Structure 1
């Protein structure tokens, strides 16, 4: 399989590194680097001994990663899919639902494999936590909470809702294996017009509630990225940078009758997971899916559904209302 990387900026350069490693392992045949910045394309091509080009329309490969700015995804993705290229598009798939579904429909029309870079589905601790939830180890899930904090200059094209909270919307859907029914969102934008640097998103999944706090304007925690999942029988905590560890809290609240409640908290135990690089696992999974003509774990449909939720969250902020989420658009998922 010949593979391309279109866009070699902050995250795209990691796709280049992983693709070159997979080529060295014999998984890929040739790898081509593409970026409109010739100097950057040349530098990466020389570092990893790869071919390069500066126009994505010159990328003639079987499959590719698309890691250009989100504002460009729809045009480049639909062109590459129509040319016969299977595509892994970095998150978010697009910045509005119509564009996202247009990419999905183009993949369907040309029978191409489409994946979206929801990389946390390949995070070792989250993969294990998903199994715990499915096995009922935490009991019924009551509450999820995520914090993604840093002190950074806001980006010029997308705010934290589409840059950071997008991860957690997909993580909650993945862990709970369902879509939310209602959403409420509040965003703050003080530094760049129209670019939110802080966002709080509340998602309802029936009786389960998920809260997402994201900000580029909180200096007091360092760079914080964590998740707590609270069940009726136990709770779990994941510090994302410690990607092979989960803390399990054996906790419960017993009703003793007559209004008496009793807490049980046996304290945390740390569980270790085998180490693996999420991006490498994601690209390998995408390559396997293209070979089998099936959808990867984070399919185009999943990516478009996530964009729909983000778009609804944005409308919630603008209207200052809790908004219902209707059943999302769906297309046939290929399993073989």
Structure 2
């Protein structure tokens, strides 16, 4: 009698004590080589194939990783090679079809951001994985950086106090994408980080987005996104393809301390400021709060030491652990779906000239029409 758990390859060591998982990377373009390199370097994985329609490009990547086999399609891969998982690094509009093919073949799936090009497609991917008891993981790479892991820890242990505001800036002189706007290109990074560090994940009730297209490309090249956080706090995300200055910065303001993450400063990526505005927290009514005296706190600034490791290495290790332990990954398909929900609401807000839009189930409703 076969007692292999549904969706798991026969002979797989679920405890992770021996052997390796076999994985194929689908897509040999921009991101695929990074995934292939980290799978090759990982003790948990054996890179078993590269899939790409561009065979010379696939062969070049395969040669760099020890001459692994190359394939033109996922169907050819699944017909010829036994793998436990696939990692998808192809354009977003192809994620849904490739992922469903792999899931229906009983393979675990890792998908680069965004999970899909629509929430309904992402939802179908998540439901298929759950039904087959397979791991669907979103490659939210930033969530595995030492800095973001530390931010999550500081928020969780109360070091920052109550969150008052979050301000995220991701701007640079970037490649204007032909098929998506700046929100869909850059904001998934910021939204996935917020989903990872906020207790309960990314669950805004509604969002408001404003975009500009001064180049006449047909897509917003500059964007600002705002949404409410619990306890009347606010989050703001600024994305921009047109800035000659590159900035990657996240500010998390708390009632006790404020944290600044500067991803472009390797000498001091995180700074913790023990200064800010203080308000008598004993007064809880609106009238009492207005009457409470505001004071300013001026304390020390310090920078926590961070370990050195490559985020993608941690990410592929988490992918293996989630498969062996039969649990959702830390950046699961559900996390990717939450990001997609916000992105779709952003698109609806842009179409409505910045009016707030809310995601309820699979429907996006505009303020004033609910």
- Does the pair score TM above 0.5? yes
Partner residue, 1:270? 303
Structure 1 residues 109, 164: CA separation in 2 closer, same or farther (over 3 Å shift)? same
Structure 1 residues 317, 51: CA separation in 2 closer, same or farther (over 3 Å shift)? same
Partner residue, 1:53? 71
| Whole-angstrom distance in 2 between the partners of 1:33 and 1:192 | 38
Greater CA drift, 175-184 or 129-138: 175-184
Q: How does 1:147-162 map to 2 (within 5 A)?
A: 147-162=169-184
Normalization by structure 1: what TM-score?
A: 0.90
Partner residue, 2:235? 210
Matched, 1:43 2:76: no
| Whole-angstrom distance in 2 between the partners of 1:258 and 1:145 | 28
Partner residue, 2:356? 322
Q: Is the 8 A contact 2:257 2:273 kept in 1?
A: yes
Structure 1 residues 41, 265: CA separation in 2 closer, same or farther (over 3 Å shift)? same
Structure 1 residues 258, 44: CA separation in 2 closer, same or farther (over 3 Å shift)? closer
Partner residue, 1:20? 40
Partner residue, 2:274? 250
Identify unmatched segments of 5+ residues in structure 1.
Answer: 330-336
| Whole-angstrom distance in 1 between the partners of 2:121 and 2:319 | 22
Could you tell me which of 261, 286, 292 is aligned with 2:319? 286
| Whole-angstrom distance in 2 between the partners of 1:274 and 1:324 | 39
Partner residue, 1:3? 23
| Whole-angstrom distance in 2 between the partners of 1:155 and 1:297 | 29
Q: How does 1:86-105 map to 2 (within 5 A)?
A: 86-105=108-127
Deviations 1:187-223 (A, max 9, x none): 223446443221111021232211000011111x2x2
Normalization by structure 2: what TM-score?
A: 0.82
Deviation, 1:67, is 0.5
3-state SS, counterpart of residue 225 of structure 1: strand
Partner residue, 2:12? none
Partner residue, 1:66? 88
Partner residue, 1:312? 345
Greater CA drift, 147-156 or 186-195: 186-195
Deviations 1:277-335 (A, max 9, x none): 11111111011111222110011111112101110111011113112344789xxxxxx
Could you tell me which of 231, 234, 244 is aligned with 2:257? 234
Which structure has the larger Rg?
A: 2
Could you tell me which of 180, 189, 194 is aligned with 2:213? 189
Identify unmatched segments of 5+ residues in structure 2.
Answer: 1-20, 281-289, 364-370
Structure 1 residues 77, 191: CA separation in 2 closer, same or farther (over 3 Å shift)? farther
Greater CA drift, 256-265 or 56-65: 256-265
